[in-house]
Amino acid sequence: MEKRFTEQSIIGDIVAQFPKASDIFKAYKIDFCCGGQRPLKEAIQERNLDGKAILEQLNTLYAQSLEKDEKNWSEASYSELIDHIIQKHHRYLAEELPNLSPYVTKVLRVHGAHHPHLAQIHKLFNELKTELEQHTIKEETHAFPLILQFEETPTPENRETMKQAIRELINEHDVAGDIIKTIREITNDFTPPEDACRTYHLVYNRLEALEEDLLEHIHLENNILFPRVLHETEASQ
């Protein structure tokens, strides 16, 4: 694996290039905000940390973030596509939503007095967090099993139950899409103000990454999985 970061890399530059590096630095109590303008090596030595382990984590996660999804999911089986959605997009949300939440709160607490729009971002993010957490649970415990059940046993009863579940999911996608769209508008396309600190930049970068993953997630369901399922249910009637 090609190494992207070294001990000579500037801490703040690492987070700017790879926002999720902030989670690793937070775990090791490495200051990436006020102390971000120094090489990673200095923080490692200062705290007597395992530099090799930290760099391995950084570079592994960064390489994974660069992986492109080039598979033609229109040709995948229901089970394969559903497993991909769970393993890639649901897992991402399960990790990212709780990790990003304290940063959104911190930026509001520190900068909210001078940037009142941050209160609205905080409110919208927490609405989105709740919406997506409940949505993914519903998909994994209810809707996806119904789709797989119908694939195995295409009865009229299974068909109607599954179609209702899909309609509910599509409506929830619209709600989540509207929230992230509003966040983009409020943040001026995720553009931090000139006086923004590193954590402020971090929040905007990670919100934009959240939007990108969410749009891909919704695309796979709204444009590929659900139309195929609904088309096949109509054909089987």
Contact 117, 186 (CB under 8 A): yes
Q: Taking residues 95-122, report their average pLDDT.
A: 96
The confidence score (pLDDT) of residue 202 equals 95
The confidence score (pLDDT) of residue 154 equals 79
What is the share, in percent, of the chain residues with pLDDT greater than 90?
Answer: 66
What is the share, in percent, of the chain residues with pLDDT greater than 70?
Answer: 94
Q: Looking at the predicted structure, is the pLDDT value of residue 75 above 60?
A: yes
The pTM of this model reads 0.80
- Give the integer Cα–Cα distance in Å for 150 and 144: 10
**Domain boundaries of the chain, sorted by first residue:** 11-66, 73-233
DSSP state letter for 10:
B
The confidence score (pLDDT) of residue 68 equals 66
Question: What confidence tens digit (pLDDT) does each residue in 153-175 have?
Answer: 878 888 888 899 999 999 999 99
- Give the integer Cα–Cα distance in Å for 159 and 233: 7
- Give the integer Cα–Cα distance in Å for 121 and 203: 10
* Torsion angle of the four alpha carbons 84, 211, 196, 45, in this order, in degrees rounded to the nearest 10: 0
Question: What confidence tens digit (pLDDT) does each residue in 211-237 have?
Answer: 989 998 999 999 889 988 887 666 555
Beta bridge partners of 10: 39
Confidence of residue 1 (pLDDT cuts 50, 70, 90): very low
- Give the integer Cα–Cα distance in Å for 229 and 61: 34
Question: What confidence tens digit (pLDDT) does each residue in 128-137 have?
Answer: 999 999 999 9
- Reduced to 3 states (helix: H, G, I; strand: E, B; else coil), residue 173 is helix
Q: Which residue has the higher pLDDT, 95 or 66?
A: 95
